[in-house]
Amino acid sequence: MIVVGAGLAGCEAAYQLAERDIKVRLYEMKPDRFSGAHHYNSLAELVCSNSLKGNSVDNACGLLKEEMRRFNSLIIKCADETKVPAGGALAVDREKFSNLVTEKIEAHKNISLIREEIFKIPENEPVIIATGPLTDNELFEDIKRITGGNSLFFYDAAAPLVSFESIDMSKAFFGSRYNKGTPDYINCPMNYSEYEEFYEALINAELAPLKEEIEKPEVFEGCMPVEVMAKRGKDTLLFGPLKPVGLEDFETGERYHAVVQLRKDNTEGTIYNMVGFQTNLKFGEQKRVFSMIPALKNAEYLRYGVMHRNSFINSPALLSPDYSLRDRKEIFFAGQITGVEGYVESAASGMLAGINAANRQKGEEPFILPDSTMLGALTKYITTADEKHFQPMNANFGIISAPKLKIRNKRERYTQIALNSLSVIDNFTKF
């Protein structure tokens, strides 16, 4: 069995196949060639945030992670082992996480890692295409050929990273929202006038040119550039990434007009991620505008934010629920190229594609989970959504099929939906 692409989805798919005694050849183009968003030689590189989102089951992505744990997910296992403090979220030391996934893939007796670029979809052998949303050149053209040109795209963005030692902690404070749990975030406050000046500079800053000449590039709502969000209205950021609610300085009691949060990006705490600051500003403009945040006046940027094109196939028109092409059953797709959006969602599709490819090899029935589970609901969405208006989808409770519950408290309602989902999952894992 061949798996093309050793990102989150490809590594998960290869691992699930290998755990089912299927010999796998996993192809990865790094280090010979890197996409515009990748930097490490290691596998399963996290290119945007280091957060895998909420970790409790009353959070949609938290439920998805817990379902994946029940199926022995490699990605979630490695994330759990390399986590860094992030309140209720599961965030990881991105380098240690990537290195650990690489180590486990290279050590598996049933996986051969081949560092070589693939230009054409392999013929006469089952294959999982998990090349991610940045697939380009000849392989992307070959994918368009076999899918009848059914390829779509949107633009995605990453946030800057700053060094801890360059943050002015006399103008920032550690704390979590409402002072709950451990103080895992650095909070960088602004008063009214500071925010007004920052806002005007942000909406008038110069953007980096996109590689493609697109008049109105589509952006994904869940990873929207901060400058795009700001242009929706002066108060938009105050209800989004700069929301000050629950972030007063509990030592001084002072309340603020806006608060920028920084999240630890590595175990040592030497690198911090600007939460919600995905951006397509020119690098010089990022330094100029973000330095208007008082605590970041002299910030050292270890990586500037970038924006890149993400391509995906029109899965509702092409894929079966087992992640194989409807008219080419030997070809499976996994990851963001299928139209799931997010690290965990990408790995989840790789997990299901790997399990189903293994079942196909063994002559067993497809492994299809019901849409009362988050895994099943995501699968159903990408394979049955309106193909004329198909857009990437994160895990969320809106897509899951659940019994009607007369519970007014949203968290309690989501918890009950999650418990129902996990009981369904447990019935599947017994066999």
Q: What is the pLDDT of residues 359-378, one digit of tens each?
A: 999 999 999 999 999 999 99
Identify the pLDDT of residue 246: 86
Identify the pLDDT of residue 47: 81
Summarize pLDDT for 242-258 with one digit per residue, the tens: 999 988 876 777 889 99
CA 361 to chain centre: 29
Contact 281, 339 (CB under 8 A): no
pLDDT band at 157 (very low <50, low <70, confident <90, very high): confident
For the chain, give the mean pLDDT.
89
Identify the pLDDT of residue 215: 41
pLDDT band at 431 (very low <50, low <70, confident <90, very high): very low
Contact 310, 220 (CB under 8 A): yes
Q: 167-176 burial, b if ≥16 CB within 10 A, otherwise e?
A: beeeebbebb
Identify the pLDDT of residue 41: 82
Domains of the chain with CATH codes: 2-155+311-429 (3.50.50.60), 161-305 (2.40.30)
pTM of the model: 0.75
pLDDT band at 213 (very low <50, low <70, confident <90, very high): very low
The answer to whether residue 195 scores a pLDDT higher than 70 is yes
What lies within 8 Å, CB to CB, of 110 at 6+ separation is 17, 18, 19, 21, 22, 23, 24
Burial of 294 (0-12, 13-18, 19+ CB in 10 A): middle
The answer to whether residue 10 scores a pLDDT higher than 70 is yes
- Integer angstrom CA distances of residue 277 from 50, 205, 238, 427: 13, 14, 13, 41
Identify the pLDDT of residue 133: 76
**Secondary structure string (H, E, C) spanning 227-288:** HHHHCCCCCCHHHCCCCCCCCCCCCCCCCCCEEEEEEECCCCCCEEEECCCCCCECHHHHHH
Least confident of 64-73, 185-194, 261-270, 340-349: 261-270
Q: Which residue has the higher pLDDT, 404 or 38?
A: 404
Identify the pLDDT of residue 180: 75
Phi/psi for 263 (5° steps) reads -115, 140
Tokens 């909406």 identify what position?
203
